[in-house]
Structure 1
């Protein structure tokens, strides 16, 4: 079946999709400065390990998400399991 993508800035929608896929808010290690958590990522089981990313809070993640004016682009597939391939894009 054809893959469809959705783009959203809704925090509840993003969090629900990430948690449905066992993901957690994260940032690339050693990119944080002061209150800035650094380069945003989502940590999924079997994905980048703790030597590359570190878990952060949803408040930190969404704070940076809003500061950078980002949107969350994720796949929606009908009739098969969703992929965890997402992108953070400019609004």
Structure 2
């Protein structure tokens, strides 16, 4: 499901440079052409992305379409273990 969503947008698995810990990816993101461009985005393999995703027990929240029907690139990762407040 995650790879399908990414593939439909031309997105590549990525991390934010400088957030790595203990030899694994830090903040997970996607490199989407024309969206969220930053010199800090470093592409990684799907194996590296999912290893970190599973290790940290993350969920991916994403949007398929905007209200007007156009394809949406919105996503965020969240941890069910995180306590806010």
Specify the TM-score bucket, using the shorter chain as the normaliser: 0.7 to 0.9
Residue 76 of structure 1 and its aligned partner are, at CA, apart by 2.9
Residue 28 of structure 1 and its aligned partner are, at CA, apart by 0.4
Matched residue, 2:9: 21
Q: CA RMSD in A?
A: 1.9
Q: TM-score, normalised by structure 1?
A: 0.75
1:62 aligns with 2:50: yes
Matched residue, 1:38: 26
Q: Is the 8 A contact 2:15 2:43 kept in 1?
A: yes
CA gap 1:76/1:46 in 2 versus in 1, 3 angstroms: closer
Structure with more of its chain in strand, by fraction: 1
**Residues paired across the two proteins, number:** 79
5+ long unaligned stretches in structure 2 = 81-85
Report 1 or 2 for greater relative contact order, CA contacts < 8 Å, sequence distance ≥ 6.
1
CA gap 1:50/1:79 in 2 versus in 1, 3 angstroms: closer
* Distance of 1:21 and 1:41 partners within structure 2: 13
- Per-residue CA deviations over 1:3-43 (Å, capped at 9, x if unaligned) read xxxxxxxxxx0001011011000000122234211211111
Matched residue, 1:80: 69
Query: After TM superposition, which residue ranges in structure 1, 4 or more long, deviate above 6 angstroms?
Result: none
Q: TM-score, normalised by structure 2?
A: 0.80
